[in-house]
Amino acid sequence: MLELAAPKYLSVAHALEGQIRTGRLKPGRRIPGEHELAKEFDVSRGTVRQALGVLVRKRLIRTHPGAGSYVEFGRERLEYALGWTAALAAMGTTIRSRVLRLEVVELPDLAAGLGSQTAQFVALDRIRLLESGVPIGLDRSRMPLTPRTEPFLRMDFSAASLTSALREAGELASLSEEWVHIHRVDAEEGSLLRRHPGDACLLVRRVTRVSSGRPIEHVESILDPDLFHMHFGPNPVKPIPASRRSHGAPESTTRR
């Protein structure tokens, strides 16, 4: 009985998929270029492109024009308490930070909204990058300026963890609130994130406080929606008491 051999591009795709699933190629890592893969598997570059297309459709890799192809992140949960760098490092992914801004700013509106006793804040803006240099997020952190946070102005946050710095300064977060929005990046943000102005990204705004309610950090993170997803729950659902239900009205007015 004759059997048809699998197309070469499928053999290449299967081999690369095996490297990804076994962890040889880790999340966020750049995979070899077309020329290298063609030489490794003794196939044409056209065959390599077909193989990469298979992996893209399986959501195992992403291709960045002019920057190459990178292994997709899985669906692992990131623990905010660790900080971005440590949380992603736990997944085997190295993240670099580039500091865009570190200075004292006056923000009376933010102070009023947070209930901060001071309108002066330490402003720290950082772009988050994969080891290859591909950006995955932009963080804008604001910490009320106090004797505990003033030393932050002399720290190198391209290497240091802000989460660890706050903890070591005695600013221990006990309460946290988050808001998630769709954000259209402007020209400056798009340039930093390699996105077109107007592209939609996730904007996660988080406020952390000490147990007394005093704010210690307000941060806005603009995240690549192809890499990050929000998951809420499981949360208990309380039934609506019969006395509060309108006669003949549905229990939920949420549209799906």
Is the pLDDT reported for residue 181 higher than 80?
Answer: yes
Top-ranked range on mean pLDDT: pick from 109-123, 132-146, 193-207, 229-243:
109-123
pLDDT at 106: 98
Write down the CATH superfamily of domain 80-223: Chorismate lyase-like (3.40.1410.10)
Three-state secondary structure readout of the chain: CCCCCCCHHHHHHHHHHHHHHCCCCCCCCECCCHHHHHHHHCCCHHHHHHHHHHHHHCCCEEEECCCEEEECCCCCCCCHHHCHHHHHHCCCCCEEEEEEEEEEEECHHHHHHHCCCCCEEEEEEEEEEECCCCEEEEEEEEEECCCCCHHHHHCCCCCCCHHHHHHHCCCCCCEEEEEEEEEECCHHHHHHHCCCCCCEEEEEEEEEECCCCCEEEEEEEEECCCCCCCCCCCCCCCCCCHHHCCCCCCCCCCCC
- CATH code of 8-71, in short, is 1.10.10.10
| Mean pLDDT, range 223-249, rounded to an integer | 66
The pLDDT of residue 250: 44
Domain ranges in the chain are: 8-71, 80-223
With 90 as the cut, is the pLDDT of residue 139 above it?
yes
What is the rounded average pLDDT of the residues 39-52?
A: 90
* Per-residue pLDDT, 232: 62
Give the per-residue pLDDT at 256. Answer: 35
- In this prediction, residue 186 carries a pLDDT of 96
- The residue-averaged pLDDT of 52-74 equals 79
pLDDT score for 22: 83
Range with the poorest average pLDDT among 98-102, 158-162, 224-228: 224-228
